[in-house]
Amino acid sequence: MEIEQKLKHYRLSRSEYDQIVQQLGRPPEGVEWALYSALWSEHCSYKSSRIHLKKIFNKSSRVVAGFGENAGVIDLGLGERVAFKIESHNHPSFIEPYEGAATGVGGILRDIFTMGARPIALANYLCFGEVKAPRMTSLLDGVVRGIGGYGNCVGVPTITGQTEFHTSYNKNILVNALAVGYFAPEEPVLRARAEGVGNLVVYVGAKTGKDGVHGASMASESFDEKNEKKKPTIQKGDPFYEKLLIESCIEVMKKKLVVAIQDMGAAGLTSSSFEMAAQGKVGFCLNLDKIPLRDSSMTPEEILLSESQERMLMVVRPENLIKLKAVFAHWGLDAEAIGEVTAGPEVELFWHGENICKIDPRFLVDEAPRYDKPYTKWQDKNRVTSFKPYEYGIKAKSQKLLELLRDPKFVSRNWIYDQYDQRVGAKTVFDCTESVGAQRLPSGKILGLVLGGRPYVMRFDAYVGAIDCIAYPALELAAKGFLPLAATDCLNFGSPDNPEIMSEFVATIEGMSAQCEALHVPIISGNVSFYNETLGENITSTPATGLVGLKDHFEATPRSYFQNKNDEIYLLRLPLLKFQGMFAEVEKLSQEGSGYLDVKKVASFADLTRHLALVKGVSASRVVGKIGLAYALARMTTAELGVEIDKVINDGVFIENLYEVLFTVNSDSALQFRELFNKLSQNNEIDMKIIGHVREGIFKIKNEIDLPLSEIHSAYNTNWEVLFAGLS
Amino acid sequence: MKIGVRVMPRKEVLDSQGRAVERTLRAHGKNLSHCRVGKYIELEIDEKDRQKALAKATEMCEFALHNPLIETYELEVL
Amino acid sequence: MNKTVGVIRFLGTNCDQDVFSAIKQAGLSPEWVCHQDQFDKSQYMALFLPGGFSHGDYLRCGALAARAPVMKSVVEASRHGTPILGICNGFQILCEANLLPGVLVRNNSLRFRDGWVGLQRVQQSPQFGSDKLIYAKLPIAHGEGRYYIEDDQVKKLFDDEQVWCVYERNPNGSVENIAGVMNENKNVAGLMPHPERAVADFMGGSDGLSFFTSLL
């Protein structure tokens, strides 16, 4: 093959080729091409994002493991720790939604238990196109079934989720999966760093097939019509096998039979082996012919690049091999020694005794290219000094609210959540029906989990959206009394070669990081997914985040729904930025907003919110979100309990003010609640007032909305079946 | 010898999958009167004698491959 | 009094820890039993088959686990009169092993279904659930929970007092809303909802606890 053809086949640029020749002192040969292709792909090397990712706020005394490990780990006190991470599986899910979503869940679970943690919770961040777009209902159905099919079977509950719809995802959906794992006191945190010359390299799990060969480099390019032909290489997951792998891996780790461990994820054996060697500054000698194969016709190159699921690579002391094999045999799995750790520095690959490759792993990992792609400094977008809210009468506004509640963008997602096991593990305190997921840990403390990232705020202004993707979920945690502890992020963007996208990317990192620092919430793990574009159309730049929070006990945690009639309803406000983002989109009005977010003010507002949420007698809370107050109140209703708001809402009910929090308080505790606010609120920009009461059977907002509760309830809760009628 | 096992839901048992497939096909204007969904299993049995191979396959079907409450099976030599 | 309760783990069982904890919480002594183990018929005061996806639900739910070596001992214990409760996938396994009548097939909706259900007791089990518990709120989580038995046998099941409990609102298309059944001797029972997921207030209810404490 001509060089140009080879470069195209292996998706390497001419300048990268020159860099390879310089490293090796000669042109690459044989399987080296495949190794460079995989490890220098955007997906594995983060070559366009790394220089910016370094700027992310990641410091806290609680951080046990951060970026560079399979997942971040954070200390909860009393010896308890959790590992967590969010990761994208967008491209595979668009090609084959069931398997794509299922293997996304499988992959993120392996990232967690390779750290030594037992997975205890899952969450999913999903973005779909318009319901009417081609394939969209079946994509949604497939993704939901795939997540359920995998998560339910391995026995990890899904406790929270977020689902968005927008035209920009019509040809490129987003499927981001988050997993949390738990370490009991004394349980070790494992690393992917190989060490100990003479130690064995052991392959564990499913046999290797041709699944997903070149998957990592595929995720590093845009979709085009031809990608349809790549179907035969999709990976297929087996959650039953994964369950056995979880149990057996946790057992060998607890028995301290493992020196280092790495999941064979993107780029399979190549990335796991070279990264383990590079991290440990050692060499490997691997016999590729010893790898258990599902398809005996496979070539060394295919073996190196296979993305078959449910496989692990471990470094094990020779004297522990028999004990290790016995544990895996008990679970019906094979463990095969395929090589050993050498002084290095090279990794040497053998095929039936013949040395087919000898290369320094640092060339491929540490010295991968780094690009500073062009971008411009962020300028505020869509700002005006003042704008007119939606002005219609009560009747028109009431009908508008019902119409919005029936819209897929706003309707209840319980149809999705009912297909996930939300309680296996018997730790779930708050399931997906609450605005925050929560689990009770063995110590009795409660761990809160919430997703963030609101695409319409990104479309309004990426810097605001970036602050918001930390601030909004942090407030949601605070509104339940959780102290936000740490975050993970999945940055879903279009092509980094487009300077506009790159500018949004850089602005996102800066905005997120600023808010994280103000809240003392480090980002401890994450993933970048570039090239989310199809035929030149980019998705909305979408940072998806996951935040964990902690509180001492479960007692008196506010719910997300009205609890008692006649409870007083309070609105707590820090109105920094006023806009009608999502309402403007739905109504095809121009995007307008006024004001600026201030990360420090937001952080102290979150702290105040948390203290108020801890008052006994606070029965429910919700952060006001998309399309403003009326929607937030509608989501708090139950079949019996509605509202009567008798204070006039100044800007109308469809304007969004960043930020506002609703509390319902039992009248016996109201005095204490107000006194605490007066005591803690030093900032006169923050105000709080009683706006109405929880009432039976009605939904009334003075001068705005007047509806029977039953209409609100049926619009919000039953329209999914109508929208997606074709599915059942 | 290779034996094929066709496992089908018993006629008197509601076949929810078959019903769903039937509905979808109809909704797309495909003309059919009934649809049932079963499963097909291929067994490779180390046995050259046809009768003996069938007997072994029958034993496997009775042991685990079908549930007589809801399913019937048929064998074929491939 | 022998307080040792066996909790059987098949490959793919995933509610094992939850059942183990609930038994402990009830003041009994749970002990793991592996799918390959054999045990004496009088070794345990009771046996639990927890839920999950044994063998990935492949072939038919519960079918492969019902043929595991440990089931020989389970059958012997059932003849001996040992109380045995199968929950969710455990119920499916007991049906596949012919220790309980009927079979569990895919939900009417063809979708997995999670949520809370109201459960009415039809017939008291001599071992599981206190006599006061005539109504319970418990979680379900299953894709194959539709109880099926031939028409002519449904009546017999009710007549023989083998129908243990029924759903208040049928979530899956089960015959006669059946959620739990017992064998003729009433020592073996199966239940689709998960009592072990409702044993404390933080879980959303504690109606499930008496399914374990009643053994004392």
pLDDT digits over A340-370, tens only? 999 989 999 999 999 999 999 999 999 999 9
Contact call for C105 and B17, based on CB within 8 A: no
Our CA-based measurement puts residue A98 at a distance from the nearest CA of chain C, in whole angstroms, of 14
Q: Among C59, C110, C149, whose Cβ lies nearest the Cβ of B17?
A: C110
Chain B residues with CB inside 8 Å of C108's CB?
A: 16
Helix, strand, coil in percent for chain C, rounding step 5: 30, 30, 45
Contact call for B13 and C110, based on CB within 8 A: no
Contact call for A419 and C112, based on CB within 8 A: yes
Q: State the Rg of chain B over Cα.
A: 16
Domains and CATH numbers, chain B: 2-77 (3.30.1280.10)
**Token duo for residue A697:** 């059977």
Closest CA to C66 of B63, A123, A400: B63
| Dist CA A655 CA C198 (whole Å) | 41
**Token duo for residue A649:** 């809402």
Mean model confidence pLDDT for chain A: 92
Helix, strand, coil in percent for chain B, rounding step 5: 35, 25, 35
Q: Among B14, B20, B67, whose Cβ lies nearest the Cβ of C96?
A: B67
Q: Which residues of C are catalytic?
A: 88, 194, 196
Instruction: Give the count of Cβ contacts less than 8 A between chain A and C.
Output: 84
| pLDDT tens readout for residues A433-448 | 999 999 999 999 999 9
Contact call for B69 and C148, based on CB within 8 A: yes
Our CA-based measurement puts residue C122 at a distance from the nearest CA of chain A, in whole angstroms, of 26
Our CA-based measurement puts residue C175 at a distance from the nearest CA of chain B, in whole angstroms, of 11
| Dist CA C49 CA C88 (whole Å) | 9
Q: Between β-strands C29-34 and B71-77, what pairing exists: parallel, antiparallel or unpaired?
A: unpaired
Residue C103, pLDDT score: 96
ipTM above 0.95, yes or no: yes
Q: How many CA atoms lie within 13 A of C4 on its CB side?
A: 12
| pLDDT tens readout for residues C168-214 | 999 999 999 999 999 999 999 999 999 999 999 999 999 999 999 99
| pLDDT tens readout for residues A683-719 | 778 999 999 999 999 999 999 999 999 999 999 998 7
Residues on chain B bordering chain C, Cβ-to-Cβ distance under 8 angstroms: 12-14, 16-17, 20, 63-65, 67, 69-70
Region C127-137 average pLDDT? 93
Domains and CATH numbers, chain A: 1-40+190-368 (3.90.650.10), 377-411+558-727 (3.90.650.10)
| Dist CA C54 CA C10 (whole Å) | 6
Our CA-based measurement puts residue B23 at a distance from the nearest CA of chain C, in whole angstroms, of 13
Residue B12, pLDDT score: 77
Residue A122 C-alpha from the chain's centroid: 10
**pLDDT of A589 higher than 90:** no
| pLDDT tens readout for residues A101-118 | 999 999 999 999 999 999
Closest CA to A558 of A645, A439, A435: A435
| pLDDT tens readout for residues B43-69 | 999 999 999 999 999 999 999 999 888
Predicted confidence band of residue A151 (pLDDT cuts 50, 70, 90): very high
Closest CA to A12 of A2, A20, A1, A24: A20
| pLDDT tens readout for residues A486-503 | 999 999 999 999 999 999
Which of these is catalytic: A43, A91, A166, A214? Answer: A43
Residue A229, pLDDT score: 46
Residue A215, pLDDT score: 61
Chain C residues with CB inside 8 Å of A418's CB?
A: 111, 113-115
Contact call for B20 and C110, based on CB within 8 A: yes
Residue A217 C-alpha from the chain's centroid: 21
| Dist CA A547 CA A168 (whole Å) | 25
Predicted confidence band of residue A233 (pLDDT cuts 50, 70, 90): low
Region A233-258 average pLDDT? 91
Contact call for C12 and A244, based on CB within 8 A: yes
| Dist CA A659 CA A639 (whole Å) | 28
| pLDDT tens readout for residues A404-436 | 999 999 999 999 999 999 999 999 999 999 999
Tell me the CA distances in angstroms from A424 to A204, A288, A439, C64, C159, one per residue in order.
27, 39, 11, 22, 35
Residue A697, pLDDT score: 96
Instruction: Give the count of Cβ contacts less than 8 A between chain B and C.
Output: 33
Q: Is A189 exposed, middle or buried (0-12, 13-18, 19+ CB in 10 A)?
A: middle
Q: Among C22, C115, C202, whose Cβ lies nearest the Cβ of A418?
A: C115
Our CA-based measurement puts residue C23 at a distance from the nearest CA of chain B, in whole angstroms, of 32
Tell me the CA distances in angstroms from A428 to A86, A149, A158, A186, A550, one per residue in order.
20, 19, 9, 24, 14
Chain C residues with CB inside 8 Å of B11's CB?
A: none
Predicted confidence band of residue C54 (pLDDT cuts 50, 70, 90): very high
Region C127-152 average pLDDT? 95
| Dist CA C104 CA C117 (whole Å) | 18
| Dist CA A356 CA A183 (whole Å) | 41
Residue C37 C-alpha from the chain's centroid: 20
Q: Which residues have CB under 8 Å from A14's CB, separation 6+?
A: A7
Reported for A1-7, long-range contacts at CB under 8 A and 24+ positions apart, including other chains, are: A3/A27, A6/A33
Chains that touch A (3 or more CB pairs under 8 A): C
Angle at A587 between CA A583 and CA A590, to 5 degrees: 80
Tell me the CA distances in angstroms from A417 to A47, A474, C114, one per residue in order.
37, 22, 8
Q: Is B43 exposed, middle or buried (0-12, 13-18, 19+ CB in 10 A)?
A: middle
Chain C residues with CB inside 8 Å of B14's CB?
A: 148, 173
**Token duo for residue C201:** 């207030």
**pLDDT of A72 higher than 90:** yes
Q: Is C190 exposed, middle or buried (0-12, 13-18, 19+ CB in 10 A)?
A: buried
Least confident of A207-221, A527-541, A624-638, C99-113: A207-221
- The residue of chain C with its CA nearest to that of B7 is C59
Angle at C194 between CA C191 and CA C197, to 5 degrees: 160
Contact call for B13 and C148, based on CB within 8 A: yes
Our CA-based measurement puts residue C114 at a distance from the nearest CA of chain A, in whole angstroms, of 5
**Token duo for residue A372:** 């500073």
Predicted confidence band of residue A728 (pLDDT cuts 50, 70, 90): very low
| Dist CA A413 CA A421 (whole Å) | 15
| pLDDT tens readout for residues A460-481 | 999 999 999 999 999 999 999 9
Predicted confidence band of residue A482 (pLDDT cuts 50, 70, 90): very high
**pLDDT of A121 higher than 70:** yes
Our CA-based measurement puts residue C36 at a distance from the nearest CA of chain A, in whole angstroms, of 9
Residue A9, pLDDT score: 87
Domains and CATH numbers, chain C: 4-213 (3.40.50.880)
Residue A592, pLDDT score: 87
| Dist CA A665 CA A614 (whole Å) | 11
Residue A232, pLDDT score: 45
Region A314-337 average pLDDT? 94
| Dist CA A608 CA A197 (whole Å) | 54
Chain B residues with CB inside 8 Å of C173's CB?
A: 14, 16
Q: Between β-strands A158-165 and A200-205, what pairing exists: parallel, antiparallel or unpaired?
A: unpaired
Place of tokens 């109405």: A692
Least confident of A226-235, A248-257, A669-678, C84-93: A226-235
| Dist CA A124 CA A509 (whole Å) | 21
Residue A337, pLDDT score: 96
Which of these is catalytic: A52, A89, A91, A166? Answer: A89
Interface of A with C in 409-428 (CB under 8 A): 417-426, 428
- The residue of chain A with its CA nearest to that of C108 is A728
Chain A residues with CB inside 8 Å of C114's CB?
A: 417-423
Q: Between β-strands C84-87 and C188-191, what pairing exists: parallel, antiparallel or unpaired?
A: parallel
A9 touches chain C (CB under 8 A): no
Chain B residues with CB inside 8 Å of C181's CB?
A: none
| Dist CA A424 CA A427 (whole Å) | 8
Q: Give the best residue of B36, B67, B73 to mutate against chain C (max C CB count within 10 A).
A: B67
Contact call for B67 and C149, based on CB within 8 A: no
